[in-house]
Amino acid sequence: MTLLSLAHVTKTFGPTLALDNVSLDVAAGEVHALLGENGAGKSTLLHIAYGLLCADAGSMQVGGQPCELFTSPAEARAAGIGMVHQHFTSIPALSVGENIALAAGWPETGKRAERRAASVVARLSLPLDPTALVSALSVQLRQRLEILKALAADARVLLLDEPSAVLAPREVRELLQTLRAFAASGGAVVLITHKLDEVFAAADRVTVLRRGVVTYSSPTAGQTPATLARAMLGADLPRTAPRAAVAGDVVVRAESLTVGSVQAGSFELRAGEIVGVAAIEGNGQRELLRAIVGLDEVGVVGGTLRVTGPVAFVPEDRTTEGLIPEFSLAENVLLGMVDGADRWLNWSAIRARTATLLAEFDVRSGGPDTAASSLSGGNQQKLLFARAFERAPRVLVAEDPTRGLDILATHEIHERLREAASLGIAVIVHSADLDEVLALADRVFVVANGVVREMPAAASRDAVGDAMLGLSPQ
Amino acid sequence: MIVKGFLTRAARRDLFVTAGAFILGLALLALFLALAGFNAGTAISALWRGAFGSWYALTSATLVRATPLIVLGLAFTLASRGGTLNIGMEGQFALGATAATWAGLHAGSLPTLIAIPWVLSCGAIAGAAWMLLPVVFRLRFGVTEVITTLLLNFVADAVVSFAVTGPLQEPTHVYPQSATIAVSAQLPKLVDGARMHLGLPIALVLAALLGVLLWRSRWGFTLRAVGAGATAARVSGGIATASVIATALLWSGAIAGLGGAIEVTGVSYALYQNLSPGYGFTAIAVALLGRLQPLGVVVAGLLFGALEAGAGAMQRDAGIPAVAVQVVEAVVILTLVVLTRRGAAER
């Protein structure tokens, strides 16, 4: 039975056609993956289904009954639709039970809310202590809370917007099992993801959007990653040239190093190699990377750290740490070079150089004088890489450089990282996505619970994943 | 060439918006006066006459009033571009005036070419010194300069009060004011028979200098970067934000102190209590109206100087309280805030 059906949905934002005559059917017992590049319209479609956005045209059915398109999330929830957003929406200072009560619209508060939430937790068999404070929960448990909140009001349809972005591999697997179990109990799931392996692991059907148009909709069985990627991009993903790892001079040398509260130990990094740092947020990788960059926010409290500069840094948060959004692109390029700038600035030279970089790194923009805030996330990241290369660095440190980027932009960033290594730069790249680390890195470091260790070259994917979670090797 | 550097398309649009807001403010004042039963035409023409109506009005009233507003507007601009808020310009102005008076009283033996730079420097140094405490509080204890600079205004008031009844009081010890400063320390008049003095060209040079420094020098770039995005400046630019903040505040204090020194050496020739009729606060409006662009500050300072000069004439000729002009100032600022908000929302 079709639980949720959207038909001929069209949505425009100003002159932009975000969704063009899109239809989506999700049956009971089905996990339906929704794929597409950034800006393809995936989130827009789910937001319309959840009543967060109003479509210009289209119709929907819920549980086989035709109904008006929702105009608010409250209507969607009343009709049995729950949504898990890309970013956590819980209140850290409240308990799990209180957050569930808020989301479900229960009148209870405090202990009574927690008691009522306990019954939901039991019914959905998603173990989580209703009295625990959200601020004390791990990332995985917060995600579980988001699902509990979405399902608390007896939802039969669960919409999820990139739920796996923040999770470790083992946690992703558990999440997908949870979704499968929910579908097996008669529910329907729509899952937005960028990761094709998740589609094959969990989805019965897949719908691909490209620029607001459905380019593909079929059962997952019989598809391959290549066919789906082609449907998303409209073309094949460019091939990656094989890269021979060349280890050159030692450019980073740490001895019995402790930075802040992180025990980094002893290691050497060489020119021309890519070192992947696998870690889940908040385990100490930030301290390690920033100590190598030489930022004074974390101090070396023990041992020694020698870094041969110049060092280029692509920070995690593009718009508060990497760029000044209201500054022009030329000013933002200068920002990364300001330590070597002349006392008097030669703006025509800086503008000209910026224009060259924008062309070389394929940054889509209105030119050197446009504000950085006008760029998309992928183009902002390309600008940051252009600036990093411009420093002619010996060491390049990149924090989670593909977070939030789509397949094509991710591919371009990966190519830049490989290019940097082949130019003889020691590349240190952190990612919360284990597959990304494994795909890029010549050597893998894992940071868990404030301890850094290098994984043996032969370590399996699962062994690295377990190490990320701080589990001891079996 | 200088103008080309910082008068971007956005800046030109800002100027246009500012002018529009000003005209709207005047129109609303006229409406307000008409509703209150005054003859709006008489009032506005008195306002105009007092500000621009004659060569004398322009050179003895408008431009004299505009000078401190421009200087203090530049002080506020510098601090704001570095991400700080100097609400204490009234106090730094008073301290600068006090120090300049002290120096001017003892400058009788110096030739003018030395006396004037010396007296003005004393004012600037005193203004910067008055900023030391806010800088230390901000960097050491994380206390926002908004609080400290504002509170120091009251302390500065007390310092001036003490000075004019104590160490700097005129020799007869009758009036709460200082004696007249040495002639060699007085700023020369620019036009015969008019009160306009060397302070105006100094203010204009200062504006040009600030424009060039902020947009053409590495120093100005780091300052603006810290103001626009302190985290990015630190992480991506490796900029020592604390020292930039200290620099912005100290120089802002120095410029405000210079403003006080110019007022003493150009207009009053002596220290009084309440030397400034609130210039330090009006100048915040001037700077915001000028969109924190030195050229814009000059234009806004001239407009506000004209308004204040015209207000006096309006009171004399049309019997309308001079404070009515503050309505225009408020309307201008509110109009501008609304227009900028809408502009930001549309972008």
Cβ(A109)–Cβ(A98) below 8 Å: yes
Exposure string for B113-131, b = 16+ CB within 10 A, e = fewer:
eebbebbbbbbbbbbbbbb
- Whole-angstrom distance, CA of residue A453 vs CA of residue A444: 9
Q: Are residues B218 and A331, on separate chains, in Cβ contact within 8 Å?
A: no
What are the structure tokens assigned to A325, written together? 């959004």
**Which of helix, strand or coil describes residue A307?**
strand
Q: Which of A86, A158, A101 is nearest to A131 (CA)?
A: A101
Straight-line distance from the first to the last Cα atom of chain B, in angstroms, rounded to the nearest whole number: 29
Cβ(A259)–Cβ(A299) below 8 Å: yes
Domain ranges of chain A: 2-233, 238-309+393-474, 330-390
Provide residues of B within 8 Å CB-CB of chain A. 5, 8, 216-219, 221-222, 224-225, 228-229, 231-239
What DSSP designation does B183 have?
G
- Whole-angstrom distance, CA of residue A180 vs CA of residue A31: 7
Given the DSSP bridges, would you call strands A57-62 and A311-314 parallel, antiparallel or unpaired? Answer: unpaired
A&B contacts, CB < 8 Å: 67
Of the pLDDT bands very low, low, confident and very high (cuts 50, 70, 90), residue A351 is: very high
Cβ(A81)–Cβ(A64) below 8 Å: no
Work out the angle between the directed axes of helices B218-228 and B63-81 (0-180°, nearest 10). Answer: 70
Contacts of A325 in chain B (CB under 8 A): 229
What are the structure tokens assigned to A12, written together? 């425009």
Q: Which of A207, A180, A188 is nearest to A63 (CA)?
A: A188
Straight-line distance from the first to the last Cα atom of chain A, in angstroms, rounded to the nearest whole number: 44
Cβ(B90)–Cβ(B277) below 8 Å: no
Say yes or no to pLDDT of B2 above 50: no
Task: Provide φ and ψ at A65, rounded to 5°.
Answer: -95, 125
Q: Are residues B218 and A335, on separate chains, in Cβ contact within 8 Å?
A: no
ipTM value greater than 0.90: no
DSSP output for A170-194: HHHHHHHHHHHHHHHTT-EEEEE-S
User: What's the confidence (pLDDT) of residue A474?
Assistant: 45
User: What's the confidence (pLDDT) of residue A298?
Assistant: 75
- Summarised one tens digit per residue, pLDDT across range A57-83 is 888 888 878 888 888 888 888 889 999
Tell me which residue has tokens 């989301």. A103
- Summarised one tens digit per residue, pLDDT across range B36-83 is 888 888 888 888 898 988 888 999 999 999 999 999 999 999 999 999
Would the CATH topology of A2-233 be identical to that of A238-309+393-474?
yes
- Whole-angstrom distance, CA of residue B325 vs CA of residue A282: 57
Our CA-based measurement puts residue A53 at a distance from the nearest CA of chain B, in whole angstroms, of 19
Q: Which of B221, B229, B231 sits opposite A345 (nearest CB)?
A: B221
Our CA-based measurement puts residue A341 at a distance from the nearest CA of chain B, in whole angstroms, of 7
Question: Which residues are within 8 A (CB) of B211 and not within 5 positions of it... i.e. 6 or more apart?
Answer: B2, B5, B6, B293, B294, B295
Could you name the CATH architecture of B2-346?
Orthogonal Bundle (1.10)
Q: Which of A321, A325, A341 sits opposite B235 (nearest CB)?
A: A321
Beta bridge partners, A274, equal: A427
Q: Does residue B290 or residue B347 have the better pLDDT?
A: B290
Task: Please provide the CATH number assigned to the domain covering A238-309+393-474.
Answer: 3.40.50.300
**Mutate which: A289, A311, A338, A346, vs B, most B CBs within 10 A:** A338
Q: Are residues B236 and A331, on separate chains, in Cβ contact within 8 Å?
A: no
Q: Are residues B229 and A339, on separate chains, in Cβ contact within 8 Å?
A: no
Our CA-based measurement puts residue B213 at a distance from the nearest CA of chain A, in whole angstroms, of 9
User: What's the confidence (pLDDT) of residue A409?
Assistant: 84
Q: Are residues B216 and A336, on separate chains, in Cβ contact within 8 Å?
A: no
Pick the residue from chain B with its C-alpha nearest to A334: B237
Q: Judge if pTM exceeds 0.90.
A: no
- Summarised one tens digit per residue, pLDDT across range B212-266 is 999 999 999 999 999 999 999 999 999 999 999 999 999 999 999 999 999 999 9
DSSP output for A337-376: HGGG--SB--HHHHHHHHHHHHHHTT--SS-TTSBGGGS-
Q: Are residues B237 and A323, on separate chains, in Cβ contact within 8 Å?
A: no
Contacts of A341 in chain B (CB under 8 A): 218, 221
Q: Which of B190, B214, B177, B179 is nearest to B78 (CA)?
A: B214
Q: Are residues B221 and A331, on separate chains, in Cβ contact within 8 Å?
A: yes
User: What's the confidence (pLDDT) of residue A472?
Assistant: 64
Pick the residue from chain A with its C-alpha nearest to B239: A339
Q: Does residue B212 or residue B12 have the better pLDDT?
A: B212
Say yes or no to pLDDT of B342 above 60: no
- Fold of domain A2-233: Rossmann fold (3.40.50)
- Summarised one tens digit per residue, pLDDT across range B160-185 is 999 999 899 999 988 999 999 999 99
Task: Provide φ and ψ at B106, rounded to 5°.
Answer: -105, 15
Domain ranges of chain B: 2-346
- Summarised one tens digit per residue, pLDDT across range A205-264 is 999 988 888 888 888 888 888 888 888 887 776 766 667 667 788 999 999 999 888 888
Q: Are residues B229 and A327, on separate chains, in Cβ contact within 8 Å?
A: yes
Contacts of A320 in chain B (CB under 8 A): 229, 231-232
Given the DSSP bridges, would you call strands A81-84 and A262-270 parallel, antiparallel or unpaired? Answer: unpaired
What are the structure tokens assigned to A169, written together? 């591999």
- Whole-angstrom distance, CA of residue A309 vs CA of residue A290: 14
Cis peptide before A73 (omega within 30 of 0): no
User: What's the confidence (pLDDT) of residue A135?
Assistant: 87
Our CA-based measurement puts residue B7 at a distance from the nearest CA of chain A, in whole angstroms, of 13
Q: Which of A335, A342, A369 sits opposite B232 (nearest CB)?
A: A335
